[in-house]
Amino acid sequence: MTLQLDLKKALGLVMTVLVITSVIPRSAAGRTVLEPEVRLARLHYDGGGDWYCDPSSLPNWLALFRSRTGIPTAETEVVVTLDSEDLYSFPFLYVSGHGRIALEAKDLMELRRYLDGGGFLYADDNYGLDPSFRAMVAQLYPENELEPVSGNHPIYHSFYDLPGLPKIHQHDGEPALGYGVFRNGRMVLFYSYSSDIGDGLEDPDVHGDPPEVREAAAKMAVNILMYALTHP
């Protein structure tokens, strides 16, 4: 069931955040026009993992978010590295992959600065990322462990009411679990383990998931992005 009570307030806050942190300058008749829209930034990381996995998932995610919330979005994601000049133009970073992620000390420092400055990182374990991602988080925030995010957390209720993280693909049969890193009361990082939200967002013919599974992934993806945009 879609949450209605605070939706107008949430949408207003989203648009405020976009105007402040995520505007695209466009030239019109010699002047710059600011057109706010939601954009997703996919992180190109080192270590050997396929950071580019699930190529249709993010365009589909943006289209779903646009159609279900009425909030304007870009057509596709932007690829950034942690030394990209425009990194701070994007309040939302996405990480996924099947392999290893490894960040150098300077990149860890930049990611920490980005997150502590108001950015948000969503990492989706695509069956294989888990060991190296957990090690990376331990380096990133040695004073803040990944904590389980229970079903009553607002991220599961920011647009749709969900009981928790949905299970999209079976893999080893472990339950889908959400984890977060919290800084000064704010969740700066959300990690979905043994779920594969990104796979559930891909074009229907890629994995052949049934409609109800794809719908579960869609609802969780909308919730994640809405939460990130309304808790800057």
- What pLDDT does 172 receive? 84
Q: Are 140 and 110 in contact (CB under 8 A)?
A: no
Residue 162 in domain: yes
With respect to residue 1, please indicate whether it lies within any of the assigned structural domains.
Answer: no
Question: What's the pLDDT score for residue 146?
Answer: 97
Q: What is the pLDDT of residue 26?
A: 35
pLDDT at 185: 93
Query: How many domains are there within the chain?
Result: 1
Angle at the Cα of 24 (from 20 to 26), degrees rounded to 5?
A: 130
Residue 62 in domain: yes
pLDDT of residue 180: 98
pLDDT at 22: 40
Q: What is the pLDDT of residue 173?
A: 86
Distance CA 213, CA 217 (A): 6
Q: What is the pLDDT of residue 10?
A: 45
Residue span of the structural domain in which 194 resides: 7-230
- Look at residue 141 in the predicted model and tell me its pLDDT: 98
Chunked mean pLDDT (size 10), the chain, 232 residues: 44 43 38 65 96 97 98 96 96 96 98 97 95 98 97 98 95 92 97 96 93 97 97 81
Phi, psi of 116 (to 5 degrees): -65, -20
User: Is there a domain that residue 12 lies in?
Assistant: yes
Is 27 a member of any domain?
A: yes
Q: Are 13 and 230 in contact (CB under 8 A)?
A: yes
Q: Is residue 76 in some structural domain?
A: yes
List the one residue out of 198, 61, 77 whose CA is nearest residue 129: 198
Instruction: Give 120's strand partners.
Output: 92
Evaluate whether 121 touches 111 at the Cβ level (below 8 Å): yes
Specify if 123 maps to a domain.
yes
Using CA atoms, how far apart are residues 111 and 214, in angstroms rounded to an integer? 31
- Read off the pTM: 0.87
Q: How far apart are CA 28 and CA 136, in angstroms?
A: 44
* Residue 2 falls inside a structural domain: no
The CATH code of the domain that includes 121 is 3.40.50.12140
Q: What's the pLDDT score for residue 232?
A: 73
Q: Are 3 and 160 in contact (CB under 8 A)?
A: yes
The backbone torsions φ and ψ at residue 142, rounded to the nearest 5 degrees and listed phi first, read -60, -20
Under DSSP, the state recorded for 174 is: P
